[in-house]
């Protein structure tokens, strides 16, 4: 791995673990096994390196989500696969955690990849849910954008619950609850008795 790559990957790890303030240039250099001269040869400074790291993390999150959401099959199955995919929930979301970092949120440049990624995820989920509505998987009254926002909020909130309780089960419970609610949005099929009653009345 080249020196710039080591610096970016080290910054990604440290941002995830310590946040922006806790990620000092010295800590990055030690983690990457690079000298101060090497770091400032490739990057203008800590903000420049942090931006490269955040962009890389955002790109990875999109690719991981798309690998599941981009599959074939019914909308519910694709959303379910996304919600149930393997995660290190006790570490939290590497992108979502940045929203709680005041230094990242205060910087338009550092915040942009975070906002763009979460917006992309909501839009991607909304598009899948919209197809589900159009194909009759969900009731016509379901609002794809509202449900997409609920999915993202549940995942991010699930990370918080799991980290707070130090138990992945808290995340799993939130996800199962959401899937139950989403499953309840399927159109109700008429029972044989009700179908027969309608036929006799015609």
Query: Does residue 15 belong to any structural domain of this protein?
Result: no
Distance CA 54, CA 104 (A): 10
Distance CA 11, CA 152 (A): 25
CB within 8 Å of 135: residues ≥ 6 apart: 74, 75
Task: Give the pLDDT band (50/70/90) at residue 72.
Answer: confident
The predicted model gives 65-83 an average pLDDT of: 95
Which CB contacts under 8 angstroms, 24+ apart, belong to 113-118?
113/51, 113/54, 113/55, 113/57, 113/58, 114/54, 114/58, 116/58, 117/58, 117/61, 117/62, 118/152
pLDDT given for residue 68 in this prediction: 95
pLDDT given for residue 71 in this prediction: 85
Alpha-helical segments (H) within the chain? 3-22, 25-32, 36-42, 46-69, 75-84, 102-106, 108-134, 144-165, 169-183, 192-201
Which tokens in the block code for residue 121?
């995820």
pLDDT given for residue 188 in this prediction: 80
The predicted model gives 159-175 an average pLDDT of: 96
Domain that holds residue 111: 54-187
Task: Give the pLDDT band (50/70/90) at residue 159.
Answer: very high
Query: Does residue 1 belong to any structural domain of this protein?
Result: no
Distance CA 158, CA 173 (A): 8
For residue 71, count other CB atoms closer than 10 A to its CB: 11
Query: Does residue 11 belong to any structural domain of this protein?
Result: no
User: Which percentage of the chain shows pLDDT scores above 70?
Assistant: 93
Model's pTM, two decimal places?
A: 0.88
Query: Does residue 82 belong to any structural domain of this protein?
Result: yes
Query: Does residue 64 belong to any structural domain of this protein?
Result: yes
Between 71 and 14, the more confident residue is 14
Judged by phi (left if over 0) then psi (alpha if -120 to 50, else beta), residue 107 lies in beta
- Domain of 137, CATH number, reads 1.10.357.10
Query: Does residue 103 belong to any structural domain of this protein?
Result: yes
Q: Over the chain, what is the mean pLDDT?
A: 91
The predicted model gives 66-82 an average pLDDT of: 95
The predicted model gives 6-32 an average pLDDT of: 94
Query: Does residue 178 belong to any structural domain of this protein?
Result: yes
Distances (CA, A) of 188 to 16, 77, 148: 44, 18, 22
Between 103 and 199, the more confident residue is 103
pLDDT given for residue 55 in this prediction: 97
Domain count for the chain, please give it: 1
Task: Give the pLDDT band (50/70/90) at residue 164.
Answer: very high
Maximum Cα–Cα distance across the chain:
86
Sort 50 into a burial class: Cβ within 10 Å, 0-12 / 13-18 / 19+.
buried
Task: Give the pLDDT band (50/70/90) at residue 109.
Answer: very high
Cα dihedral sign, 125-131-137-141? positive
Query: Does residue 193 belong to any structural domain of this protein?
Result: no
């Amino acid at each position: 791995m080249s020196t710039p790559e080591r610096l970016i990957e080290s910054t990604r790890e440290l941002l995830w673990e310590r946040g922006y303030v806790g990620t000092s240039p010295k800590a990055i250099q030690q983690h990457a096994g690079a000298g101060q001269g090497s770091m400032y040869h490739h990057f203008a400074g800590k903000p420049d390196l942090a931006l490269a790291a955040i962009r890389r993390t955002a790109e990875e999150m999109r690719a991981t989500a798309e690998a599941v959401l981009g599959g074939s099959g019914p909308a519910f199955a694709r959303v379910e696969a996304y919600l149930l995919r393997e995660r290190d929930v006790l570490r939290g979301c590497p992108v979502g955690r940045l929203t709680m970092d005041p230094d990242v949120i205060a910087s338009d440049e550092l915040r942009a990849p975070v906002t763009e990624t979460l917006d992309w995820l909501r839009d991607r989920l909304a598009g899948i849910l919209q197809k589900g509505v159009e194909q009759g998987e969900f009731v016509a009254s379901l609002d794809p954008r509202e449900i997409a926002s609920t999915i993202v909020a549940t995942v991010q909130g699930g990370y918080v619950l799991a980290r707070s309780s130090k138990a992945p089960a808290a995340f799993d419970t939130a996800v199962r609850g959401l899937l139950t609610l989403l499953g309840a949005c399927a159109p109700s099929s008429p029972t044989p008795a009700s179908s027969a009653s309608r036929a006799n009345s015609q």
